[in-house]
């Protein structure tokens, strides 16, 4: 994936530029304003858009910035979703209180999956996460856990009410709540990517040997990145449960992981703002596609993936950024050109073989 436009890390001293502040402020005002003009259905769509954007952001951090491939992030979405649903449905927790446990649960599982990730090269991680994605619905349906998970039927939860007697409908409140959490998640992600950790992540992505030689603990960094990434996607899952008020195992199948992955590619693999585009894509396109035919979503995803890999490796955000940086003062965050989103070579014989290929 070659890059052509981004903030060179050396000139970014960590302070937000005026242009960036302006862009973000305008964006937030618009997003909040939408709460008061959108119909209930559109509000729901916007809510899901924000949730999915957070899900994609998790993958942006992991794959775009740290160079690790995950084909199974739907699993973390599922963990966050089910954590929230179980707490609400079985233990009567208030919706807003379920966000932290969902975050923690996903982070922990992410950390545990991150451990083998240390030993694995990019392809092996892709394979493991692929397997995870395929296995998740089975795990969710298992009889032994039925009391907790609701088995095949899943769980339903109550729709949150507008608190404090505010003059907002539930849909408006849910949207604004999701927006607030989403803004927090994006702020976290943005700070992470712009800061020292982000630069370390990118160093590990592009030049792992050099990074290690410079004192970066590869193992710790990669595991922690995986945990953070899982956490973001887990929070997204919780948000979606709050908005939808229903979870069932078959919603969290392999296609969900693929959908998040496609959202990542469409938005721009290493672009924070791209995650928003990815979220929009995920919310809007499958619905339209499903109306066309059952086969349409898969076909569209397939064409998009192949098309983007060949034509627009930097995704929508990259393409727009290439057109001009004057747009709203935002820029994707990644390394200076030329960028290749490199992933660790597979261990043992493969690396030896590619060395031999020279």
Residues in contact with other proteins by CB under 8 A are: 1, 63, 67, 69, 71, 115-116, 119-120, 122-124, 126-128, 130-132, 134-135, 138-139, 141-143, 254, 258, 261, 265, 269, 293-299, 301-306, 308-310, 313, 340-343, 346-350, 352-354, 356-358
Instruction: Give the residue with the Cβ less far from other proteins, 191 or 293.
Output: 293
Give the three-state DSSP class for 48.
Answer: helix
Give the three-state DSSP class for 129.
Answer: helix
Instruction: Give the residue with the Cβ less far from other proteins, 30 or 144.
Output: 144
Let me know: does 182 contact 54? Beta carbons within 8 Å: yes
Q: How far is the CB of 242 from other proteins (least distance, A)?
A: 29
Distances in Å between the Cα of 176 and the Cα atoms of 39, 183, 240 are 14, 10, 13
Instruction: Give the residue with the Cβ less far from other proteins, 17 or 293.
Output: 293
CA–CA distance, 84 with 246 (Å, rounded to integer): 10
Instruction: Give the residue with the Cβ less far from other proteins, 34 or 346.
Output: 346
3-state secondary structure 219-246: HHHHHHHHHHHHHHHHHHHHHHHHHHCE
| Cα angle, residue 250 at apex, residues 316 and 68 outer, rounded to 5° | 40
Q: Give me the DSSP letters along 101-123.
A: HHHHHHHHHHHHHHHHHHH--HH
Instruction: Give the residue with the Cβ less far from other proteins, 72 or 160.
Output: 72
Let me know: does 238 contact 50? Beta carbons within 8 Å: no
Q: How far is the CB of 82 from other proteins (least distance, A)?
A: 16
Token representation of residue 174: 């849910």
Percentages helix, strand, coil for the chain, rounded to the nearest 5?
A: 75, 0, 25
Let me know: does 254 contact 134? Beta carbons within 8 Å: yes
Instruction: Give the residue with the Cβ less far from other proteins, 125 or 238.
Output: 125
Instruction: Give the residue with the Cβ less far from other proteins, 160 or 313.
Output: 313
């Amino acid at each position: 994936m070659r890059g052509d436009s981004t903030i060179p890390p050396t000139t970014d001293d960590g302070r937000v530029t005026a242009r960036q502040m302006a862009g973000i402020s305008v964006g937030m005002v618009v997003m909040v304003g939408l709460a008061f003009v959108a119909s209930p259905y559109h509000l729901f769509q916007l809510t899901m858009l924000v949730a999915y954007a957070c899900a994609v952001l998790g993958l942006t951090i992991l794959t775009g910035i740290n160079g690790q491939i995950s084909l199974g992030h739907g699993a973390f979405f599922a963990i966050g979703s089910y954590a929230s649903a179980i707490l609400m449905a079985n233990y009567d927790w208030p919706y807003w209180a379920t966000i932290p446990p969902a975050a923690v649960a996903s982070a922990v599982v992410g950390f545990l999956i991150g451990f083998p990730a240390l030993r694995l090269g990019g392809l092996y991680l892709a394979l493991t996460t692929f397997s995870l994605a395929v296995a998740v619905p089975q795990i969710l349906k298992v009889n032994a856990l039925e009391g907790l998970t609701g088995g095949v039927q899943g769980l339903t939860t109550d729709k949150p009410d507008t608190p404090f007697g505010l003059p907002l409908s539930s849909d408006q409140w849910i949207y604004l709540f999701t927006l607030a959490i989403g803004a927090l998640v994006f702020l976290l992600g943005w700070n992470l990517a712009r800061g020292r950790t982000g630069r370390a992540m990118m160093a590990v992505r592009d030049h792992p040997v050099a990074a290690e030689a410079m004192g970066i603990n590869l193992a710790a960094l990669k595991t922690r990145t995986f945990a953070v990434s899982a956490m973001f996607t887990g929070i997204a899952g919780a948000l979606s449960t709050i908005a939808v008020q229903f979870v069932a195992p078959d919603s969290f199948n392999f296609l969900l992981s693929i959908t998040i992955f496609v959202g990542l590619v469409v938005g721009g693999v290493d672009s924070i703002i791209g995650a928003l585009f990815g979220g929009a894509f995920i919310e809007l396109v499958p619905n339209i596609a499903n109306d066309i035919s059952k086969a349409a979503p898969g076909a569209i995803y397939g064409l998009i993936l192949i098309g983007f890999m060949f034509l627009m490796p930097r995704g929508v955000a990259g393409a727009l950024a290439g057109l001009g940086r004057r747009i709203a003062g935002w820029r994707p965050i990644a390394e200076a050109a030329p960028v290749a989103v490199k992933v660790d070579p597979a261990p043992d014989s493969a690396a030896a073989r590619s060395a031999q290929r020279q």
